[in-house]
């Protein structure tokens, strides 16, 4: 398990944030992934100019969002259907919807403002969450809340360029279905993701180092 990130320096995070922004096309949002950032360290991120945060765990999301309502919050972890009720009140976007059980819970607990991204298993990795590309249209049609985009996690690789075909395919799928948002790219490969059309990049260590 990764260690918690402590001792964050707002000036350093701001410098990292400014450097990353300079790398990105206009309009690409930087989401700070805060799974390993304790609640008491979030003030440094706010001071550094972070506006959008993403949490992987429902319980931590609830606590962090209540403590820092000045941040915009997204849920970016694997979505368990039983946690939907807990998540919905605190987020403007859920990145990881990929099951009919989650759709059923969204029907029960979602609102007219609830928006989601559908997670797509572009590479067809066995055991990985995500809708198969060929099932995407039917899944979107079944959603009781508004689908505004897609999310993917490419296969692990040390070479950012190896992820480019996955990102490109997700962009093409979004175009086919008239979807605007693409959540793709992390600290290692965010530049490639942005070149392929990402609208949200999910960054962790590169912001905090």
pLDDT at residue 127, as a whole number: 87
Beta carbons within 8 Å of 180's beta carbon, 6+ residues apart: 148, 149, 174, 199
- pLDDT of 131-144, one tens digit each? 999 999 999 999 99
The CATH-assigned architecture of domain 10-208 is: Alpha-Beta Barrel (3.20)
Q: What is the average per-residue pLDDT within 15-19?
A: 98
pLDDT at residue 1, as a whole number: 56
pLDDT at residue 2, as a whole number: 72
Long-range contacts of 132-139 (CB under 8 A, 24+ apart): 133/169, 133/173, 136/173, 136/177, 137/177, 139/103
Q: Report if pTM > 0.75.
A: yes
pLDDT bin (cut points 50, 70, 90) of residue 168 is: very high
- pLDDT of 99-140, one tens digit each? 999 999 999 999 999 999 999 999 999 989 999 999 999 999
Q: Per residue in 28-49, is it b (16+ CB within 10 Å) or e — as a string?
A: bbbbbbbbbbeeebbebbeebe
- Say whether pLDDT at 16 is over 90: yes
- Say whether pLDDT at 167 is over 60: yes
């Amino acid at each position: 398990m990764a260690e918690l990130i402590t001792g964050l320096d707002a000036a350093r995070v701001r410098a990292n944030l400014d450097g990353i922004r300079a790398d990105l096309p206009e309009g690409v949002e930087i989401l700070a992934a805060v799974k390993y950032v304790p609640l008491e360290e979030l003030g440094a991120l706010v001071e550094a100019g972070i506006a959008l945060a993403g949490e992987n765990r429902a319980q931590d999301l609830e606590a962090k969002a209540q403590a820092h309502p000045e941040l915009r919050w997204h849920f970016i972890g694997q979505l368990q259907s039983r946690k939907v009720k807990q998540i919905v009140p605190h987020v403007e976007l859920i990145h990881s919807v990929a099951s009919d059980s989650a759709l059923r819970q969204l029907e029960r607990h979602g609102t007219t403002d609830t928006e989601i991204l559908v997670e797509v298993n572009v590479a067809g990795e066995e055991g990985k969450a995500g809708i198969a590309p060929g099932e995407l249209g039917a899944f979107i049609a079944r959603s009781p809340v508004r689908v505004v985009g897609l999310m993917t996690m490419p296969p692990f690789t040390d070479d950012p360029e190896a992820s480019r075909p996955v990102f490109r395919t997700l962009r093409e799928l979004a175009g086919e279905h008239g979807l605007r948002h693409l959540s793709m790219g992390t600290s290692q490969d965010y530049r490639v993701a942005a070149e392929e059309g990402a609208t949200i990049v999910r960054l962790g260590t590169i912001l905090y180092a």
